[in-house]
Amino acid sequence: MDLSAIDPITLFAGLVAAATPLLFAAVGELVVEKSGVLNLGVEGMMIIGAVCGFAAATLTGSAALGFLAGALGGVALSLIFGLLTQIFLSNQVATGLALTLFGLGLAALIGQPFTGIKPPPFSALDLPGLSDLPVLGRMLFGFDVIIYGGIVLIGLVWLFLNRTRSGLILRAVGENHDAAHSLGYPVVAIRLAAIAFGGACAGLGGAYLSLVRVPQWTEGMTAGAGWIALAIVVFATWKPWRVLLGAWLFGGVTILQLNLQASGFLSWLQSQGIPAQSQYLSMTPYLVTILVLVLISADRMRARLNTPGCLGRAFTASD
C-alpha cells in the first residue's frame, strides 16, 4: 500500500468536482422542500438532465447548449411531477418514486444512440496569474465555470430565502400553506415555480455528470446520486450553506474510496488476512449516507424545528 501516491491537492480538486452534481441537485431540492413539496424524483430528473445534456452537446458540438438542454430536460420532468401533485393532488411520495422510474427508463431509451460517443470538451477556466500559483492555483483557481457557479448558487439561494420578500413568501407557503393562502398568496403557482427550479438544478447536475465528470453516456450513470442529494438536504437541516458542506462530504468519500483502491489498499488488507474486494469500498458513500441519516434522526427535536411545517402535505384551496 502506497498512501504517498495520494496527492492531497488532487484529492481536493477531485472532491469538488465529484460534489458538484450533488450540490446542484441538493440545493434545488432544498428550495422545493422549503415550499412544502417533497419530490423524491431527483434521481429521475438528474438522469434525464444527463442524457438530454449529452445528446444536445454531441449533436450541436456545444457544451453550453448541452447544459441548457440538461436544465430544460429536468424542468420538463419536474413539471410533470408538479402537474400531478399540485393540480391533480396525487400522493407526492408515490409520484416522486414513479418519476424516478420513468426518468431512468426514458433516459435509457433516449441514450441508446449516444453510447460510446465522446462529448465536446469543457475545459477549466484559465485565470492568468492565479491558476499558476503553486498550491492555491490548483486548489482554488483550477476549476470550470460550473463549479464556481454552484458555489455562487448556494449564496444566491441563501440570499433569496432569507433576505428577499419572495423568499420569505416561499418559506411561509412551506410552513403553513393555509395561512399563506388566506393572505392572498398563490400557493400552487409558488410551489410550481419551486418545483421547476429544483428540476433545472437537478438537470444541470446530471448534465455536469455526463459532460464533465465522467464524461460519457452510460445507462444508469447517476448511480444513486439523486438519493444522496435528498439525504444531503436532511443532513443540511434545510440550510443552504450546509448543503455545500454535505455535498463536499459525500463527494470526498467517493473520491477517497477511488484513491484508496488505486493505492493498493485492498491488496494490503488481503495481505493482512482480511478478505476485501473493490465492491466494499464502492459501498462506502451509501453506507456513510445511511450513518449520517441515522445520527441526524437521533436528534428528533432539532429535525422537527427545521423541517418545513407543510412538507409533503397536499394543498386544497378552501372557500
The domains located in the chain, with CATH, are: 3-306 (1.10.3470)
Q: Which residues contact 106 (CB under 8 A, 6 or more apart)?
A: 48
The whole-angstrom separation of Cα 310 and Cα 176 is 6
Give me the mean pLDDT over the 91-97 stretch.
96
Model confidence band, residue 319 (pLDDT cutoffs 50, 70, 90) = very low
- pTM score: 0.91
**Cα-based angle 132, 136, 142 (whole degrees, multiple of 5):** 60
The whole-angstrom separation of Cα 216 and Cα 63 is 13
The tens digit of pLDDT for each residue in 168-192 reads 999 999 999 999 999 999 999 999 9
The whole-angstrom separation of Cα 85 and Cα 188 is 10
**Residue 148: closest CA among 244, 43, 34:** 244
The whole-angstrom separation of Cα 282 and Cα 267 is 15
The three three-digit cell numbers of residue 158, written as one number:
441563501
More reliable by pLDDT, 127 or 25: 25
The whole-angstrom separation of Cα 43 and Cα 51 is 13
The tens digit of pLDDT for each residue in 54-69 reads 999 999 999 999 999 9
What's at 269, amino acid-wise?
Answer: L
Q: Which residues contact 96 (CB under 8 A, 6 or more apart)?
A: 38, 39, 40, 41, 81
The whole-angstrom separation of Cα 26 and Cα 43 is 11
**Residue 20: closest CA among 277, 205, 167:** 205
The tens digit of pLDDT for each residue in 211-270 reads 998 889 999 999 889 999 999 998 888 999 999 999 998 888 888 777 776 666 666 566
**Cα-based angle 44, 47, 51 (whole degrees, multiple of 5):** 140
pLDDT at 282: 73
The tens digit of pLDDT for each residue in 8-52 reads 777 788 888 899 999 999 999 999 999 999 999 999 999 999 999
Say which DSSP state 46 is in. Answer: H
Q: Which of 88-97, 263-272, 291-300 has the lowest mean pLDDT?
A: 263-272
pLDDT at 250: 87
The three three-digit cell numbers of residue 61, written as one number:
458540438
- Asked if 222 and 43 touch (Cβ cutoff 8 Å), the reply is yes
